[in-house]
Amino acid sequence: MELTKDLTLLPDISKDKLKDIYKEMWLIRYFDEKVDEFFAKGLIHGTTHLAVGQEASASGACAVLEDRDKITSTHRGHGHCIAKGADVNKMMAELFGRTTGYCKGKGGSMHIADVEKGNLGANGIVGGGIPLAVGSALTSHMKKLNYVTLCFFGDGASNEGSFHEALNLAAVWNLPVVFICENNQYGMSGSVKEMVKVPDIAARADAYGFPGVVADGNDVIEMMNVSHEAVERARNGEGPTLIEAKTYRWKGHSKSDAKKYRTREEEKEWRAKDSINRYKEVLIDATIITEDEAETIRKQAKQAIEDAVEFAKAGPMPTKEDLLTDVYA
C-alpha cells in the first residue's frame, strides 16, 4: 500500500481543515485508548469494541460530507461519531453511564447517536445499520432533500442478509447512499480470507450494478478522494457506491478478546502502516505543518480526552426514577 502524497488530488479542502483532520484522528485514537484503560480498571461497565488503527477510514470519509449529510455507524463506532462532529465530553459521559451523556447514560458504547450532527446512531447488531442507511437515503430521495448517507460496517457484516437486501434495494431505486466496508481483516476471530471467497469485498457491488472501489483504509487522503467521488456521484442522482477500506484493528474484537487467532508478526506489520504517522509525514512534506506544530496538535487532542474524562466523572448518575423515562410502548 503506497501512501498517497499528492494533496492536489483532494477535493476543495483548506489547509486548516487538513490540520483539523490530523487532530481529529488523534482524538479518535486517544478516546479509544482511554476507554480501553478504564474498562481494564473496571471503571466502565458493559463491553466495548475499539477502532485503534482504523482512524483514517472514519476521518477520511466524513471529511467530505456536508452538515446535512448523514451517517450510520457500528458497534465499533466511536471514530465515526467523532469524525461526524460529536462532543467527546458527552461521548465519554455516555460510556461512564452518566446523565450528561448522549443517551443519558442508557445507551453505552454501542448506541451513541447525535441526530443534530447527522449521526443516526451506532448499532450493536452486525449489519443492522445498513438497511437504516438505505431508509435514510430513501427519505432524501423522496423528499428531495439532497443529502447523502454514509453507511459504515465491517467485513463480517458483508455476509449478512441485510447487506445484500439493502444493497439491492439501493441499486434498484438509485438511492444517494455510500456503503463503506471497513475491512479490518477479522470478523470477531474469523479471518476474512476464510469467510469470503472473493479477494475484494468491493467486487460484490458488481452483482447489484453499481461501482465497487478498493481503498487503502490507512491512507486518509485516499479515503477522502474515493469518498468524495462516491458522495458527489450519489448527490448527483447516480446512485450508490461500495467502498472497501482495507485496514486493521490493533486491539481485539472486544475487551475480552486475547487475540490468540493472529500472529504478533502480522500485528507488527500493520502497526508499521499507522495512518496517523503516515498522514503527519504528508502534511510536513507539504509544509502545511511543522514537526513542532504536529506535536502541539497531538498534545491538544490528548488533553481534550483527559478533559472529557473529568467531565464524565463529574456528571450525575441516573436515579431509580430514570428507569422509566425515555421508554416507549
pTM value is 0.94
Q: Which residue has the cell 447489484?
A: 208
3-state class of 242 per DSSP?
A: strand
CATH number of the domain where residue 17 is located:
3.40.50.970
Distance of CA 319 to the CA centre of its chain: 32
> How far is Cα 154 from Cα 55, in angstroms, rounded to an integer?
14
Does 322 map to a domain? no
Rounded CA-CA distance 262/276 in Å is 23
* Structural domain includes residue 323: no
Q: Would you say residue 98 lies in a domain?
A: yes
Query: One-letter amino acid identity for 210?
Result: F
Nearest residue to 201 (alpha-carbon basis) of 162, 131, 153: 153
Write out the chain's pLDDT in tens, 329 residues: 555 666 666 767 889 999 999 999 999 999 999 999 998 888 888 889 999 999 999 999 999 999 999 999 999 999 999 999 999 999 999 999 999 999 999 999 999 999 999 999 999 999 999 999 999 999 999 999 999 999 999 999 999 999 999 999 999 999 999 999 999 999 999 999 999 999 999 999 999 999 999 999 999 999 999 999 999 999 999 999 999 999 999 998 997 888 889 999 999 999 999 999 999 999 999 999 999 999 999 999 999 999 999 999 999 999 999 988 988 76
Q: Which DSSP symbol is given to 320?
A: G
Chain-centre distance for alpha carbon 209: 26
User: What's the CA gap between 33 and 43, in Å, rounded?
Assistant: 14
Residue 208 lies in a domain: yes
Distance separating alpha carbons of residues 103 and 200, to the nearest angstrom: 37
Q: What's the grid cell of residue 21?
A: 483532520
Residue 296 is part of which domain span? Answer: 11-314
- Is residue 4 situated within a structural domain? no
Report the alpha-carbon angle 224-230-233, nearest 5. 135
32, part of any domain: yes
Q: 207-225 b/e with 16+ CB inside 10 Å = b?
A: ebebbbbbbbbbbbbbbbb
CB of 29 within 8 A of CB of 52? yes
Task: Give a yes or no: residue 326 inside a domain.
Answer: no
For 39, the 3-state DSSP assignment is helix
> Is 3 domain-assigned?
no
Per-residue pLDDT tens over the stretch 47-85: 899 999 999 999 999 999 999 999 999 999 999 999 999
Cα–Cα distance for residue pair 280/203, rounded to 1 Å: 31
Give the count of domains, the chain: 1
CA 168 to chain centre: 23
Q: How far is 268 from 291, CA to CA, in rounded Å?
A: 25
